[in-house]
Amino acid sequence: MLYPRESESRQLRTLSGLWRFKADYLHEGRKQNWQMSPLEGTINMPVPASYNDITQDEKLRDHIGDVWYEKTFFVPLSWREERVMLRVGSASHHATVWVNGVKVTEHSGGFLPFEGELSSIINYGEENRISIVVNNVLDWNSLPPGEVKHIEDEQHPKGYKIQEYHYDFFNYAGIHRPVILYTTPKTYIEDITVTTDIKDKIAVVHYEFKTTGEKSVTNYSVELLDKEGNIVASEKGNKDRLMVENPKLWQPGEGYLYTFRVSSFETNGDLVDRYRLPIGIRTVEIKGEQFLINGKPFYFKGFGKHEDSDFNGRGLNDVINVKDFNLLEWSNANSFRTSHYPYSEEIMDLADELGIVVIDEVPAVGMNIWGQNIQLFNEDKLGTDALNNHIKTIKDLIKRDKNHPSVVMWSVGNEAATFEDGSVPYFKKLAEFTRELDNTRPVTLVQSSKPKDDKVAQLFDIICLNRYYSWYEDPGHLELIDFQLEKELKDWYAKYKQPIIITEYGADAIAGFHQDPPVMFTEEYQCEMIKEYHKVMDRLPFVIGEHVWNFADFATKQGVTRIVGNKKGVFTRQRQPKAAAHMLRKRWLAHPKE
C-alpha cells in the first residue's frame, strides 16, 4: 500500500481536524446502526489523537469498548473520473468505516494503515458523511495481546470488568494517524519495491512494481533523480534495475535521498499515473561480530522510544516528532527502536531524511506474564490464531516499510516468554516468514530471558537484550551491575556467537529528585546506573549497540511501580533533559568504543 502522495495524476485531501465523537457506553451503536444517520449528543474530538486525555472525564479515559467518530465532507465533481480512496493511517485497535451508511472497510491492528475504495459510494459535488467506530479491546489474538477480565467477587460490583494487558504503556485508543482522501487514476501504480546494492562504487537499484486497472498499460518510464532533480538513471520496464555510478549513499547521520519516479503511459504517450518514492542507497549486513551499514561497522547509540505526548497520547504529533528528532541530534544519538509497535509513516519519513537508523518492531509485546507460572504459547492463549495474526502484521509492516532506508532490521516482538517450549515453533515460523518476505535485512526478537533459559535466539540474526540489573533485580545495588552484566553478556555470546545490542537499560528518575550518594528514582541514580552498564559494554567487543530505556517519560496504566507513568525517560514527557541526557550527549559525541 503506497503512502498517499500528490502528483500530476493524484490528488489528496486530509480529513484531519475536529470530528463529532460519541463513546458508546451502553453498547448500543452497532445494534442501532449509528452509521445510518447523523450521530446525536456528540462532543468535539480532534483527529488524529488519542481520545483518552482530551476531556475531563475519567470514564472516557478508561472506557473499554466502542467509540464513534463522524465527519461530513465534499469531494469535487472532477473526482468522478478518478479512483477515490479513503485511508486511515491507524486506528487503535479495531475499526469499521462507513461512508453515507455504506460499509467501506474494517480493520484490526492498531498501528498500521488501512484503506477502502469510495468511488461508487461517494456523492460527487455533494455532502458525504463518514462514520468510524473504533474499539480498543485486546484479546489473546490481537497484537498486542490482552484480556478483558470480568471480576466476580464480593469486593467488586456485579459486571465489573477491566482490560488487562501485560505491557508497560497506556492503552491509548482512537484514530491515531491521519484520515486521508486521495485519488489515483482508474489504472494505477499499485506497489513498488526497491532494494539496493553497491558493487565497486556502482549502485544497483533493483525495483519492481505493478499496475492495476482497466487499461492495459505497458509503457513505463522509471527515473532516478538526485536531490537537485537531475536524472541519474532511467529504465522502461516494471521490473528491472538501475545502475548509478558514484552514488551518494544513505548513511547514518546523512540521509541522502533520491527520488524514484515511476510513470505509466497510454500507447499514444499520454500520462496515466505518476508516483514519486523517496529512496536511499545503502546496504546492511551482519558479519561476524559486526553490524555493517555500507560495509562499515555501525554502533547503535540511541533509545527505545514511544509515540507518546501530553494530551495527544499516541496521536500523530508533528510538533513532538520534529522536536524528538532535534533532541536525537542534540544527544548525538544515531538510532532508535520503534518500541513496541510500528510508528507513523511520518516518523519513518523523518528518519529517512535525517539519517537516523531504525529497528522496526511489530506490536508483539506483553507475551509474557511476569512472575506467574502460566504457559502462554498454547492453543488457550497464544495459539494458531494469534500466530496467524502475528504473521499478517509482519506482512503488513514489511509492505508498509520495506522501502525505508532508515529501517535496518525487523524486530518480531519484545520480551516474549522464550523460555517456553511452545515459543520455539511459534518464533521459528515468524523468523522464516520474515526472511521470506525480506532477505535484505536482519531479523531479531528482543529478549528478556536469561541465556540459560532462552530457546529461540538461534532462529534470529542478532541478540537484542533488555536488562534491568540494580532496578528490578537487586534494586539499589549499582555495585552488582559490573559483575552480573558481564557474566550474562559473555554467556549469551558463548551460547549463540551473535553480536549483542542492549536494547533497554535504564532507571526511573523523577526530574528534580536528587540525592548523592545516589538512591533510586533520583537523577543521580539514573546516571550512575547507565554509566555502570557502559563500563561493561565498552570492554566487550561483541556488544554493538546501546539503546537507553527510554527516550522520554511516558504514560502507563496505573500501578504501584509507576509514578504518573514510567519515568525512565532521559527527557521528561515535555522533552526537557534530565542529567542523564547531558551525560549521554557527551558520551555519544564520539563512538563510545574509540
Summarize as ranges the residues that interact with ligand GCB (CB under 6 A). 167-168, 340, 414-415, 448, 466, 504, 549, 566, 568
Q: How far is the CB of 566 from ligand GCB (least distance, A)?
A: 5
- Record the cell numbers describing residue 307, joined without a space: 509515540
DSSP code at position 344? P
Q: Which is nearer to ligand GCB, 19 or 469 (CB)?
A: 469
**Helices 523-539 and 579-587: angle between axes, nearest 10 degrees:** 20
Q: Which helix (H) or strand (E) holds 587?
A: helix 579-587
Q: How far apart are CA 205 and CA 184, in angstroms?
A: 26
Residue 525 CB, nearest distance to ligand GCB (Å)?
14
SS3 call for 152: coil
- φ, ψ of residue 234 in degrees (nearest 5): -155, 160
Query: Of the two residues 278 and 506, which places its CB atom closer to ligand GCB in the complex?
Result: 506
Residue 197, classified by CB atoms within 10 Å of its CB into exposed (0-12), middle (13-18) or buried (19+), is middle
Closest to ligand GCB by CB, 252 or 565: 565
Measured from the CB atom, is 492 or 549 closer to ligand GCB?
549
Report, in Å, the least distance between residue 508 CB and ligand GCB. Answer: 7
Report the residue number, 218 or 558, with the smaller CB distance to ligand GCB. 558
Q: How many residues does the chain have?
A: 594
The closest residue (CB) to ligand GCB is 168
**Nearer CB in complex with ligand GCB: 22/340:** 340
We find the least distance from the C-beta atom of residue 382 to ligand GCB, in angstroms, to be: 17
How many Å apart are CA 126 and CA 74, to the nearest integer?
Answer: 6
Which segments within 172-270 are labelled E, that is strand? 174-175, 179-184, 188-199, 202-212, 219-225, 231-235, 239-245, 250-251, 254-255, 258-265
Return left, alpha or beta for 101; rule: phi > 0 is left, psi -120 to 50 is alpha, else beta.
left
Nearer to ligand GCB by C-beta: 65 or 304?
304
- Beta carbon of residue 407, minimum distance to ligand GCB (angstroms, whole number): 20
CB of residue 418 vs ligand GCB: minimum separation in angstroms? Answer: 13
How far is it, in rounded angstroms, from Cα 95 to Cα 173? 11
Least separation in angstroms between residue 560's CB and ligand GCB is 13
Which CB atom, from 168 or from 308, has the smaller least distance to ligand GCB? Answer: 168
Give the helix/strand (H/E) hosting 583. Answer: helix 579-587
Task: Provide φ and ψ at 400, rounded to 5°.
Answer: -75, -40
Q: In angstroms, what is the minimal distance from the CB of 335 to ligand GCB? A: 17
Least Å distance between CB 549 and ligand GCB?
Answer: 6
Q: Which is nearer to ligand GCB, 361 or 532 (CB)?
A: 361
Q: Is residue 504 flagged as an active site residue?
A: yes
Q: At 515, list the grid cell.
A: 540525592
- How far is CA 218 from each of CA 9, 184, 240, rounded to the nearest angstrom? 17, 18, 14
Quick check: 222 and 260 in contact, CB under 8 A?
yes
- Residue 554, CA distances (Å) to 35, 258, 346, 520 in order: 35, 35, 20, 18
Contact criterion met (CB below 8 Å) for 282 and 249: yes
Location of C-alpha cell 504503556: 169
Choose, from 82, 420, 488, 504, the residue flagged as catalytic: 504
In whole angstroms, the minimum distance from the beta carbon of 315 to ligand GCB comes to 20
Q: Which of 115, 361, 415, 523 is catalytic?
A: 415
CB neighbours of residue 153 within 10 Å: 6
Contact by Cβ (8 Å): 320, 571: no
> Which residue, 471, 492, 387, 399, is CA-closest to 429?
387
Question: Is position 546 annotated as part of the catalytic site?
Answer: no
Q: Which is nearer to ligand GCB, 307 or 504 (CB)?
A: 504
Q: How near is the Cβ of 562 to ligand GCB at its closest, in Å?
A: 9
Q: Looking at the DSSP assignment, which residues form a beta bridge with residue 456?
A: none
Omega prior to 541 cis, within 30 of 0: no
* C-alpha neighbours within 13 Å on the C-beta side of residue 426: 28
Task: State the cell numbers at 419.
Answer: 523460555
Half-sphere exposure of 411 (CA within 13 A, CB side): 30
**For ligand GCB, which is the closer residue by CB, 331 or 566?**
566
Q: Are strands 258-265 and 254-255 parallel, antiparallel or unpaired?
A: unpaired
Q: List the beta bridge partners of residue 265.
A: 219, 271
Which residues are annotated as catalytic?
A: 415, 504
